[in-house]
């Protein structure tokens, strides 16, 4: 229960701060800026890893949880509860933003600025890079403070900086589903539910090619990050 609570709180923090930055940027006429939004996503992930990494692994992303299962880092019995906690945390965050900013129409929902396939391909590649980084630095909970937090937060911030204007740089089904539910805006949602999972799973064989058995080995779920 502590691990599930950590996933709930971690995903709440991610969605509340990240999509909250988008909402506040919109309602204040761009004071946060695109750079500020990207930094917010990177920094909040870094903070959540520091806070909950030794408890649940701080996945805070259903695609990452599925990736760890495919990589045999956690048993399947833990996957549904983890994903349910992440979705509930994200929905609670978007619900809170709906109450705070009822004038916001999208609540930070991810939308492609070009074609769906362009954003789909971008989201697959972005999540592939993110998961590859996570697998490479997640050697145990004791290393979460220095290695994993900085590396993963930096990758998320970097990808949001350059890809955010095109695809939204979601890389996280929970982060996209929650504002879509709160805003009632489901256009293009399939892109952000499917592409991150494909990208995360594709990172497993790539990691195994360069790290041999280190990427795919049985470990406790709380040792993921």
Residue 225 has pLDDT above 50, yes or no: no
**Over the stretch 163-220, which tens digit does the pLDDT of each residue have?**
999 999 999 999 999 999 999 889 899 999 999 999 999 999 888 888 765 666 654 4
Residue 224 has pLDDT above 90, yes or no: no
Average pLDDT of the chain is 89
C-alpha–C-alpha distance, residues 49 and 44, integer Å: 9
- Confidence (pTM): 0.90
In sequence order, which residues have a C-beta less than 8 Å from that of residue 146 and are 6 or more positions away?
none
All structural domains of the chain with their residue ranges: 2-217
Structure tokens at 51: 């806070």
pLDDT at 139: 59
Q: Name the CATH topology of 2-217.
A: Glycerol uptake facilitator protein (1.20.1080)
**Over the stretch 91-144, which tens digit does the pLDDT of each residue have?**
999 999 999 999 999 999 999 998 999 999 999 999 999 999 998 887 543 345
Structure tokens at 31: 């004071």
Would you list the DSSP string of 81-133? Answer: HHHHHHHHHHHHHHHHHHHH-TT-SSTT----SS-HHHHHHHHHHHHHHHHHH
Please report, for residues 29, 78, 135, 162, 166, the alpha-carbon distance to residue 85 in angstroms, rounded to integers and kept in the order given: 34, 11, 22, 30, 29
């Amino acid at each position: 229960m502590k691990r599930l609570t950590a996933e709930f709180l971690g995903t709440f923090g991610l969605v509340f701060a990240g999509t909250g930055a988008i909402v506040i940027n919109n309602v204040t006429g761009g004071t946060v800026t695109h750079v500020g939004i990207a930094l917010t996503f990177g920094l909040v992930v870094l903070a959540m890893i520091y806070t909950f990494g030794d408890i649940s692994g701080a996945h805070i992303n259903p695609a990452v949880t599925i990736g760890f299962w495919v990589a045999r880092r956690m048993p399947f019995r833990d996957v549904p509860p983890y994903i349910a906690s992440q979705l509930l945390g994200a929905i609670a965050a978007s619900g809170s933003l709906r109450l705070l900013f009822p004038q916001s129409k999208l609540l930070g929902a991810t939308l492609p600025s070009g074609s769906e396939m362009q954003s789909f391909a971008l989201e697959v590649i972005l999540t592939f890079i993110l998961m590859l980084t996570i697998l490479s630095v997640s050697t145990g909970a004791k290393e979460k403070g220095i290695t994993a937090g900085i590396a993963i937060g930096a990758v998320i911030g970097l990808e949001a900086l350059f890809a955010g204007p095109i695809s939204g740089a979601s890389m996280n089904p929970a982060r996209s589903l929650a504002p879509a539910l709160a805003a009632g805006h489901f256009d293009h949602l399939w892109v952000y539910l499917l592409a991150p999972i494909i990208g995360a799973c594709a990172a497993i064989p790539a990691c195994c090619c360069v790290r041999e058995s280190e990427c795919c080995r049985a470990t406790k779920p709380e040792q993921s990050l």
